[in-house]
Each structure stands twice: as C-alpha cells, then as structure tokens.
Structure 1
C-alpha cells in the first residue's frame, strides 16, 4: 500500500511539473506577439482604423505629423513600411488614400475626405479616357531578380495635350503613366481609368528617352511616343 502511494505521488508530481512547463512555454509564446507600442511623437486617435482593433490608427497633430496634415484629409498611421499588410490593405482598397511619408517606424497615409485624391486638381487626366492612338513595345523591367524584357504599350493623346501611356506586362498586369503638357510625369496608376497618384516615381531623361522608375519597376519611353511622332 505504501509503495502504491509513492507511485501515485510520483505520477502526480510529474504531471504538475509538465503542466507548469507547458504554461511557461505558452506564456513565452504569447509574449512574442506584443502589440505595437506607438511612439510618444504621435497623437493616436481611436482604437483602430478602419475598424476597431485594427493595427492602423488615425493620427492627430504632433511634431511627427505637422507636415502631413491637411484640412481636406484624414491622416492614418500604420506600423511598418508601406509594403506591410495593414498599409497595403488601405492603399490598395481605398480609392483616395496615398502614402505621404514615414516617421518613427510608422507609414503615414493621407485619405481625402472630399471625395477625390489630394492635389487631384493639379492632374490633367480627362474624365473619360481617349481612344488608344498608337501602340508599340518598350523596354520594361521589374525588380526582385526579374530580367529586363519588352512590354506592349498603348498611348492616349488627350485634347489638352496631356498623354497617358498604358504598359501591358506579359503576365496581364498593366501600368498607366500620366504625362502633363510639359512631358513630365504627373502620376501613375494601375490602369488608365484610375486617378493618377504621385507615388514613388523617379524620372530622368537621356538622349530623348524618359527613364522612369516606379518602385521596383523600370520603363524607357521615347519622346516620340509622347509627341505622336
């Protein structure tokens, strides 16, 4: 009888030790998913954007946001880069959202409250796209190790002398590049029917060729394409 009691006590102690170890492991695992701690440089409004509990937050006026506030837009902050899932969910699905900056580990997104993108009055894109007036191919390239190739394109010349070049990638994706009357890039979008957005775009010219970088995308568009020559 005494022997059986000792065996039972040993089993009970082993079970309690296992439970304690499991609880410790669980606590450590839970501790790895800490919520983002917003820096003191931000005035955080609400408990999530666009829904309660979401990672992003509306931001008020502070030293970190003073240069990005606009009376015609709300400012939203998302932890991480503009490529984070939370930021992309807003930028890709909200028609009037655009990334305007990055501060203290937070991507700043401006969302127009007037039913149109900020600075849209400066764009010269017509309300209805003009028919494609010219087609051809041009050098195009994507980053992430993808090689340079040739993409088909179509050109829309508008009555106000602005131009839209639509590039067709081999995988079916498109990129619309909007040029003002001066021949300078004024914005880009996924398609010609979308509103042009400034985005992460760099342009330089070399021997009559516009070398355009949009994020990790590269395009070479000749002046003759824009002029219709």
Structure 2
C-alpha cells in the first residue's frame, strides 16, 4: 500500500500552500499584540491567507470576537489595515516598521508583530 506524505506549506510539492482544515487560512499562529481598547501586551490568534493576486492578508482575533485584518503587498511588505468609519478605525493612524524578520504594524495605539514566515510561508 502506498501512502504519501502530508502536504505542508512550502513542501516543495508544487501544490501551493496547504490549508488549515476547517478554515480559509493557509496557516494559523499566535502573534504578539497589544493596545486594543487599552489591552496590555499579550498573544492574539491570527490566520493568514497567502498568495492572492494582490498579496496576503492576516486576520487577527481580538477580545469580543473583533477581527483586525492586516494587508500585505505581494512582496511581503505592509500595506494597510481594514478600517471603517463605523468603528472609528478610519480616523486612526496606521503605520509599520521592520525589526529583523518581523513587521510591527500599528493602528492607533494597537500594535501587532508579524513574522515574515507567517506572511510568506517557509
């Protein structure tokens, strides 16, 4: 009986990025986060969808099932946050900086640390 190895992200099998079962994500992780409604630094659940024509996006789950979506260009550089007038995020300043292999994305007082490995895969 022949059994094949499971497909993993970047597995070199030309099948593209694997998916996390039961989710729309290529990978999930916990990322350092802080500042949402004054929250102290902690870890937030994040899911990434990679290799879209326009780049990659990461959904970060915050308390109360609020989701922050962070967009990256196809080269892996920070692009923007999903913002809206209704929740006040449209008035918040967005930005990013690099520290080693990590992008630190900010939305007002909120801060999210996202590794290149999560954005690009391995």
What band does the TM-score fall into relative to the shorter chain? Answer: 0.5 to 0.7
Aligned residue among 179, 183, 186 for 2:79: 186
TM superposition score normalised by structure 1:
0.37
SS state at 1:181 partner: coil
**Which of 114, 131, 150 is matched with 2:43 structurally?**
150
Of the three residues 51, 73, 94, the one matched with 1:201 is: 94
Gaps of 5+ in 1: 1-130, 192-196
Q: Which residue of 1 aligns with 2:70?
A: 177
Higher relative contact order (CA 8 A, sep 6+): 2
Choose 1 or 2 for highest CA Rg.
Answer: 1
- TM-score when normalising by structure 2: 0.67
Inter-partner Cα distance in structure 1 for 2:79 and 2:52: 17
Question: How far apart, in 2, do the equivalents of 1:134 and 1:144 lie?
Answer: 27
User: If each structure's strand is expressed as a fraction of its own residues, which one has the higher value?
Assistant: 2
1:212 aligns with 2:105: yes
**Of 134, 137, 140, the match for 2:27:** 134
Please provide the CA RMSD for this pair. 2.4
Contact 1:163 1:180 in 2 (8 A): yes
Gaps of 5+ in 2: 1-23, 85-89
Higher helix share: 1
